[in-house]
Amino acid sequence: MSKPYELAAFAGGCFWCMVSPFDELPGITEVISGYTGGHKENPTYEEVHSDATGHYEAVQITFDPEKIPYQKIVDLFWQQIDPTDEGGQFSDRGTSYRTAIFYHNGQQKKIAESSKEKLSQSGKFSKPIVTGILPAGPFYQAEEKHQQYYKKNPFHYNLYKEGSGRASFIRSYWKKHKSDEELRQELTPLQYEVTRNNGTEPPFQNEYWDHTAEGIYVDIISGEPLFSSADKYDAGCGWPSFTKPLRRSELKESFDTSHGMRRIEIRAKTSKSHLGHVFDDGPGPDRARYCINSAALRFIPKEKLAEEGYEEFKSLF
């Protein structure tokens, strides 16, 4: 008999930015923006931000512990915040923007406290880790306009995430950036040409165009999960093609007029690597065809997902 779903709750500053990191992960069924930790029932956004109710902006996550462990969710939470800021997060100041992990049982408390101690001892930050570890209380769902904001208003969301300072902080503290010299040494000439110089590999003469094994495809540089074999199909173009990405939040689209064509280029946000292009002639309901260079990808077979740190994607297979 499978275990029942569990709840996790986190405050990480603006709740708009705390949905997308968790929203598309296998094993997570729902991410709700809301308010918790205060003393007034059913507070409004305006009341919470008057700093008079004691609430935090937070997200409540419903997850299947057999598909994604709580530890993995906590690890991902840390990577969205500045855990040393006790007055808010980035440009958002005030008590409603403080950070906290709200535990629902003794096991969650133990994992959260151990994770916080590990981060404190890591030396990543010179200042103390001030994120609270607190018992979960009533959680009040925020107004509908705040739910899934990153999907409803992607332009404003991305503008806000950059403008607030959150995106640059995450890149500086949580993402490992390799120098150009390191990349030249680690990548093959073709991989470097594709990812750093917007190159294109030959069709039908690349590693994954007709690859059929089950597993996921990750960014060759950052290791971020990008695509699944479950969404891969033969488009007849000679490059690996997918109907959708694993996490849309990890991809960046831009208009490309190079070579006298009008196309939508796809880049990986973390590594800023050129991946390929997306077209509107795919077989899926939204018609998307992600045409990706094999040289920008590394394949992780389903048998090695746990070994390589991608256990949450095992449930796809």
The residues spanned by each domain of the chain are 6-173, 180-316
Q: What pLDDT sits at residue 313?
A: 85
What rounded mean pLDDT belongs to the chain?
92
Q: Which has more confidence, 285 or 242?
A: 242
Q: Which has more confidence, 2 or 227?
A: 227
Least Cα distance to 101 among 38, 6, 37 occurs for 37
* Rounded Cα gap, residues 28 and 183, in angstroms: 34
Predicted structure pTM score: 0.70
For 209-256, write each residue's pLDDT tens digit: 999 999 999 999 988 899 999 999 999 999 999 999 998 878 999 998
Radius of gyration from C-alpha coordinates of the chain:
21
Lowest mean pLDDT among 90-104, 204-218, 245-259: 245-259
* Rounded Cα gap, residues 288 and 74, in angstroms: 32
Q: Which has more confidence, 234 or 2?
A: 234
Distances in whole angstroms, Cα of residue 166 to Cα of each of 63, 234, 266, 315: 25, 39, 22, 31
**Residue 306 binned pLDDT confidence (cut-offs 50, 70, 90):** confident
How many percent of the chain have pLDDT more than 70? 99
Q: What pLDDT sits at residue 141?
A: 98
Give the angle subtended at the CA of 241 by the CAs of 240 and 247, to the nearest 5°.
Answer: 110
**Residue 261 binned pLDDT confidence (cut-offs 50, 70, 90):** confident
Domain 180-316 maps to which CATH number in 3.40.50.720, 3.40.640.10, 2.170.150.20, 1.10.645.10? 2.170.150.20
Q: Which residues form the catalytic set? A: 14, 291
**Residue 171 binned pLDDT confidence (cut-offs 50, 70, 90):** confident
**190: enclosing H helix or E strand:** helix 189-197
Q: What pLDDT sits at residue 2?
A: 53
* Rounded Cα gap, residues 83 and 127, in angstroms: 9
Coil, helix or strand at residue 28: strand
Q: Which has more confidence, 52 or 131?
A: 131
Q: What pLDDT sits at residue 204?
A: 97
* Partners of residue 89 on adjacent β-strands: 92
How many percent of the chain have pLDDT more than 90? 72
Give the angle subtended at the CA of 308 by the CAs of 274 and 225, to the nearest 5°.
Answer: 30
**Residue 1 binned pLDDT confidence (cut-offs 50, 70, 90):** very low
CATH number for the domain running over 6-173: 3.30.1060.10
Asked if 150 contacts 114 with a C-beta cutoff of 8 angstroms, the reply is no
* Rounded Cα gap, residues 131 and 143, in angstroms: 25
